[in-house]
Chains A and B, each alone.
Chain A
Amino acid sequence: MGSPRPWVSAMLDVLVLGVLRSGAMHGYAISRQLADAGFGQVKGGTLYPLLARLEQDELVTHRWQQGDSGPPRKSYELTAAGRSHLATAAAQWEAHAPRVSRLLEVDVHAGMGQEG
């Protein structure tokens, strides 16, 4: 089961930074990695402006790579600020996710109890 789209949208900037942790890559490769990881198809119309914003915020930087054939590709990589932002987000998620899980579990059981 893929992640719900609203959740992906809400976290997309952190997810993109997470993908770039493994190394520099261009936009299409980032969208494929996200799809392979179960986050669904992120449209270019969403991804590229987001990359522009991350670059504007100095969390990523880019370099152009001239391929053997076809147009040059713009490849993104994390900056030091991007790594630091990602580490903070990871720590926040680690604290947040169990709280959500606990709450949902309680609610689910409470709901089932009321029904039964």
Chain B
Amino acid sequence: MHTGEYLEQLVVSLRVRDVPADRIREIIDELEGHLAEAGEDPREAFGEPAALADSYVQAHPVPRARTLRGTTQAAIAAGAFLAPVLLGAGIDALVSGEPVAIGLGHVLGVAVVLAAFVPAFRLLWAFLDGRGSRWSVVAVFVGGAVGGLVMALWLTGPVLVEVPGWGVLTAAVAAVATVAGLVRSDPLPPPGASATSPPPASG
């Protein structure tokens, strides 16, 4: 494995473990310096990227407040999935002048999507970490989404509530706001940025 490829995988493995971006940059800059001087094969020197990321997290634990729990990940995905559906239904209701009838099938469909997205995210994280198969990720995501949609569209059941178009549009905006609020932007600083950051307080 080339140095660049190895370090890219290490970045992903550290990301998956919610290590802050400035800390990741520091780790990558340091290991790059080591490899430049030692001329070693990165896998030979540091072992598997996932195992190295585990060692770093063990040595320097990530604050619990930073870690994205499975439910948060599922909420992000569910919000991203529901927003366009709600937007379409809301616009359709406003144009036709008819309220959106929410039935048992819709509720069960959303439940199926949420239930599928929690394990799907676990599989996705494991895949990004260099473990597992991409097809299992695709299968659970697509299976959950399609299963939920089919259930919502085809399962007949009693109408539970009728919501006016503006109400559905408000829910769509709330879903977008939820996703925007939960997704954290933490871009990786450019290479060498660690050298220009202020030194830590000395003990």
| Chain A interface residues (CB < 8 Å from chain B) | 26-28, 43-46, 48-50, 52-53, 55-56, 58-59, 61-66, 70-74, 79-82
Known: A27-B30, A52-B56. A80 touches B194 (CB 8 A): no
B171 contacts chain A at the CB level, 8 A cutoff: no
The 8 A CB mask of B34-66 against A (1 = contact, 0 = none) is 101110100001110001100110111000000
In this complex, how many residues of chain B approach chain A with their Cβ under 8 Å: the count is 32
User: Smallest Cβ distance from A18 to chain B, in angstroms?
Assistant: 18
Q: Which residues of B contact A70 (CB under 8 A)?
A: 33, 36-37
Please tell me if the beta carbons of A28 and B59 are within 8 angstroms of each other in the complex.
no
Please tell me if the beta carbons of B59 and A49 are within 8 angstroms of each other in the complex.
yes
Of B83-91, B142-150, B195-203, the segment with at least 4 beta carbons within 8 Å of chain A is B195-203
User: Smallest Cβ distance from A78 to chain B, in angstroms?
Assistant: 10
Please tell me if the beta carbons of A45 and B30 are within 8 angstroms of each other in the complex.
no
| Chain B interface residues (CB < 8 Å from chain A) | 26-27, 29-34, 36-38, 40, 45-47, 51-52, 55-56, 58-60, 191-192, 194-197, 199-200, 202-203
5 additional contacts (CB under 8 A) given A49-B56, A73-B30 = A45-B52, A45-B55, A48-B31, A55-B200, A63-B199
Please tell me if the beta carbons of A74 and B59 are within 8 angstroms of each other in the complex.
no
User: Smallest Cβ distance from A54 to chain B, in angstroms?
Assistant: 9
User: Smallest Cβ distance from A83 to chain B, in angstroms?
Assistant: 10
> A44's closest neighbor in chain B, by CB?
B45
